[in-house]
Amino acid sequence: MKVLLLQKNDDFTVRKEFSIHEETLFKDLELQIICNAMAGDDNPLLFSISKTAILTTTADLETIQYRQDILKDCLKNRDIIQNLYQLTETGIQGDKNHYYNIFVNYPSSILHYSDETLNFYMMILKKIRTIADEKASLFSSDGFVQLFSMLQQELTDSYFTEIADHLKNLDFPHGLSVSASLGEANKGINYVLRKQKKSNKNWLQKLFAKKEPGFTFQLAERDESGARAFSELKDIAINTTANTLAQSVDHILAFFTQLQIELGFYIGCLNLYDQLIEKKLFISFPVAFPLNEHQLSFLKLYDSCLALGTDTCIQSNDLSANKKDFIFITGANQGGKSTFLRSMGIAHLMMQCGMFVCAELFQASVCTKIFTHYRKEEDHSMTSGKLDEELLRMDAIIEDITPHCLVLFNESFAATNERDGSEIARQITQGLLENDIKLFFVTHLYEFPHAFFDKHLDNILFLQAQRSPDGSRSFQFTEKEPSATSYGQDLYNTIFL
């Protein structure tokens, strides 16, 4: 049985390993804060699901809309979703309680514990089917309509009745019926467990019925060798049946596990939603545009990581940057440039994994991948200079980058003098632009942004962090020519005066 709540045609897989670029993105955008919020009560599974989903973005508009519709259903029916999720947890925990045993390698033990586990699983599946029967009409998304329809078709009353009959027979209330052939040296071969025929006779007819001819053998009470041999024969006879039953257990467990994973993503979204709503912050479902349309506009976009970590009022920003491929962000120190950059990166990631975004309105073209190239703190273990380290990281990005990617630069190539840093940045970004890659660049360099500003190109936007005459910051950004100063005097006064 397929769950298909995150992808229309395939199961979603939780990853344990990520590429160096994904780990860098996770760290630079401080996505651990988002994943911790989604994980709720420090749930490591929800954290892993959230991290995988956020870093495994999709550029397929149909998939994004598919997940958004499912998430809207979850927001409207959260009690049902949480009940389903808890049932999967109960099923998986029940497997641990029933199935694992030190004697599990013996066919008789496998059969016994598989029988117990399947009886328990049937109880869980009946509850899930009941939810599908009673609550399906409350859901409108394709994902849930398909899931509930599949559950109703697969988990029928006749299915449960048939399973119950099989499990009852496997308790062998009338003993085992086994056939075998004689092989070389009169050794038994071709053991087959036979299904016992049901008799239509009543007890009186059975009492006076003619006995079929046959032979019987009875073990002495203290015949340990005979008992051991008989047990071995029994294990041989039921081995195939035990393995088949164990495979059935694994199949249903795999369904519970997959349902838990895919519901877990939406449970994480609900956890994050609750924390943001509690802080009375804006939330909206974004509008995703195709790769080649170059759309970007938003209202009241804010940094969700900052919002989750503080109780103070969070400043938001508006922007209309349609048809812009390169956005420079310059201006005063401590003016909110890095926070603004992070908010845009997180919004793109949340949009492309089918979530809501932290804005009153957000619409943007999707990108194939997102990369970050941030200035790093001094590392005394480095064997080369900071500029060399930055160039090596840039080289690694170039190796993996493709058209329609997005790169977020934060004060990159400032580890050398103004002229060299500006020229390096100009040549790299020019090459990326020519290959249809979208760029955001926070910089204190002056010659670098002015080299592009003087060309008056229509696809480049220049934003500047506002600073009042008294030195206060509003954390707002306006379209403006790059400034020749970042007001380091303000920082000096704050620290030393």
Q: Of 344-353, 407-416, 477-486, which range is least confident?
A: 477-486
> Reduced to 3 states, what is the DSSP secondary structure of residue 467?
strand
CA distance 26 to 44: 16
For the chain, the maximum distance between any two Cα atoms, rounded to a whole number of angstroms, is 112
CA distance 3 to 258: 7
Map out the domains of the chain as residue ranges.
58-170+251-278, 287-496
pLDDT tens digit string along 122-138?
A: 999 999 999 999 999 99
* pLDDT mean over 482-492: 59
- Residue 211 burial (10 A CB sphere; 0-12, 13-18, 19+): exposed
pLDDT bucket at 102, cuts 50 / 70 / 90: very low
pLDDT tens digit string along 248-259?
A: 888 999 999 999
pLDDT surpasses 80 at 210: no
Q: Which pTM was predicted?
A: 0.85
pLDDT tens digit string along 56-66?
A: 989 999 999 99
CA distance 462 to 18: 34
Q: Please, what is the end-to-end C-alpha distance for the chain in angstroms?
A: 68
pLDDT surpasses 60 at 100: no
pLDDT surpasses 60 at 281: yes
- Residue that wins the pLDDT comparison between 473 and 366: 366
CA distance 275 to 174: 59
C-alpha gyration radius of the chain? 32
Which of these, 329, 311, 304, lies nearest to 319 by C-alpha position? 329
Q: Of 189-193, 264-268, 448-452, which range is least confident?
A: 189-193
pLDDT surpasses 70 at 329: yes
Instruction: Report the CATH number of the 287-496 domain.
Output: 3.40.50.300
* pLDDT mean over 202-207: 58
Cβ–Cβ under 8 Å, residues 350 and 54: yes
> Reduced to 3 states, what is the DSSP secondary structure of residue 390?
helix
CA distance 79 to 433: 48
- Residue that wins the pLDDT comparison between 176 and 265: 265
pLDDT bucket at 103, cuts 50 / 70 / 90: very low
The CA distances from residue 350 to 122, 197, 273, in Å, are: 37, 60, 12
* pLDDT mean over 369-375: 94
pLDDT bucket at 113, cuts 50 / 70 / 90: confident
- Residue that wins the pLDDT comparison between 493 and 311: 311
* pLDDT mean over 279-308: 94
Contacts 24+ apart (CB under 8 A), 151-154: 151/1, 154/1
* pLDDT mean over 368-391: 79
pLDDT at 485: 57
Give the chain's mean pLDDT. 85
> Percent of the chain scored above 90 by pLDDT?
55
Residue position matching structure tokens 């049902």: 80
CA distance 314 to 307: 6
pLDDT tens digit string along 460-469?
A: 999 988 766 6
pLDDT surpasses 60 at 404: yes
pLDDT tens digit string along 2-45?
A: 899 999 988 999 999 999 999 999 999 999 999 999 998 678 99
pLDDT surpasses 80 at 95: no
In sequence order, the 6+-apart residues with CB closer than 8 A to the CB of 33 are: 304, 305, 308, 309
